[in-house]
Amino acid sequence: MESKKFMNADVYAQDEKIGTVKEIGIDPENWDITHLELQLTRDIAESVLGAKKYGVHNMLAITALKQGLARWTERGLNIKVSKAQLHMYLKPVDDVENR
């Protein structure tokens, strides 16, 4: 699948839209995808992270995309993670960039 299809694709957790893919993190040594940067919906940013603003970006851990946990559909990427578990797969952009 072309990487262009991932950019600006909607991401759903149990059929609820949680955000849009804005960037794809790649490990330059072995070319593996490490994470997806998502712009979260306002509802998810507030209910999961407590942020009360629009445009919050977080990194979605690649573990949320492992076989059996994610599937590509016509609407976008659907991950099988509950809203209650979502915080375990999200990290602020700065935490990922400054490792």
pTM exceeds 0.95, yes or no: no
pLDDT reading at 98 higher than 70: no
Least confident of 23-27, 43-47, 61-65, 66-70: 66-70
Burial 74-92 (b: 16+ CB within 10 A, else e): eebbbbebeeeebeebbbe
